Structure 1
Amino acid sequence: MLKADLRREMLARRRSLSATAVEERSDKLREKLFEHFEVRRWKWLHVFLPATHQNEPDTWKIIRWIWAQEFPVQVAVPVVQPDGVSLRHYHLTPATQLANNRWGIPEPVGAPEVLPHQLDAVLVPLLAVDEAGHRVGYGKGFYDRFLADCPQTTRRIGLSLEPPVLRIDDAWPGDVRLQACVTPTQVWQF
């Protein structure tokens, strides 16, 4: 399928989910992530904060689990920059103040910056992923640009409420492939 078709189909599918379904699938994503990855060994984990109006996976479940378990891993989250095309990343703690951006996504205010080279793993938002690790996002390229700045050693892990599709037909070389994708039923390695 083409990215534009997948984007439309998966957005419609996700928007049709009930809040209960998103919550249950998000719980399963958290469980799978901690079962399959040694999160406690990472120093920095980058986590997107959910756009709840888009029924994105509730990554607060992952963040709060890390804080509750007192894992030594630190959490970084993205902030869209005024140029509208780039991200910067900031340390998130239980005490961090948050303000919603223009898309209704919470972002930290006044937190210390975290640079891409510091990150051990990035949890990547997506609408669809294929069996080769190519992803479809919202089409702005934020994460492709960001992931290109991360070291090769940084784990690129997608979070998806749906299983992968067979193939994204119009993936191109500038797309940064994922190394893994966590779904509610299994973890896919690419």
Structure 2
Amino acid sequence: MLKAELRKIYIQKRKALSSDEALLLSEKIFNNFVDYFSPVEDQKIHIFTPIKKFNEINTFMFITYFLSQNIRVFVPKVIDNKLINIEIFEDTVFESNPWGILEPISNRDSEETHFHYIITPLLYCDFNGNRVGYGKGFYDAFFQDISPESKKVGINYFSPNEMIEDVWENDISLHYLVTPREVLSFLSGVE
């Protein structure tokens, strides 16, 4: 199936979830992530903040947990059409950007390029780790600038069931996908 078709389908599926369903599924995804990856103190994790109007996975439970475990947390912020990453702390102040995404008020790029995990937003992921996002390309560009050892972990309410037909040469696939039901690895036995 083509990315544009999958984008439409999964935006609709996400909209169909009630707030309670989205929260319950987010909790299951969070628990699966923590159980599988067992993040520890001083690791560096890059994670997005959710767009509430798009019913995205509630990543604030991840952020709260990571900060409580002394895990270093970085969130994206778009400045001049480029995604930078800002380290956050318990007292970081956030504001809503024009897309309705909560971002730190600070514009100070951490310039960090190595993360243990990059928790990546997506609308859909296929059986090969290819992802469909909103089509802006921010994460594909971001992935090119980071250490190849950084594990790219997609989180989604839905498991794969269709292959993405129009994967492009510059698309960068995920290493893992975490859903409410499972954790899939796309590393072909090499971890």
TM (norm. structure 1) is 0.94
CA contact (8 A) 1:77 1:89 kept: yes
Distance in 2 of aligned mates of 1:122 and 1:138: 17
Q: Secondary structure of the equivalent of 1:17? A: coil
Distance in 2 of aligned mates of 1:111 and 1:92: 11
Partner of 2:33: 33
Q: Which runs of 5+ in 2 are unaligned?
A: 187-191
State the one-letter code of the partner of 1:173.
Answer: E
- Mapped pair 1:54 → 2:50: no
State the one-letter code of the partner of 1:44.
Answer: K
* CA offsets 1:99-125 (integer angstroms, 9 cap, x no match): 100011110012643224132210000
- Mapped pair 1:5 → 2:5: yes
Distance in 1 of aligned mates of 2:42 and 2:155: 18
Which residues in structure 2 correspond to 1:1-190 (within 5 Å)? 1-40=1-40, 43-68=43-68, 71-81=69-79, 83-84=80-81, 86-110=82-106, 112-190=108-186
Across the aligned residues of Structure 1 and Structure 2, the Cα RMSD in angstroms comes to 1.3
Q: Secondary structure of the equivalent of 1:13? A: helix
CA contact (8 A) 1:26 1:58 kept: yes
CA contact (8 A) 1:116 1:151 kept: no
TM-superposed CA distance for 1:89, in Å, is 0.7
State the one-letter code of the partner of 1:9.
Answer: I
* Distance change (3 Å), C-alpha of 1:42 and 1:4: farther
> How many positions carry a matched residue from both structures?
186
* Distance change (3 Å), C-alpha of 1:42 and 1:177: farther
CA contact (8 A) 2:114 2:149 kept: no
TM-superposed CA distance for 1:67, in Å, is 2.5
Q: Which runs of 5+ in 1 are unaligned?
A: none
State the one-letter code of the partner of 1:52.
Answer: K
Q: Secondary structure of the equivalent of 1:39? A: coil
TM-superposed CA distance for 1:131, in Å, is 0.2
Q: Secondary structure of the equivalent of 1:45? A: strand
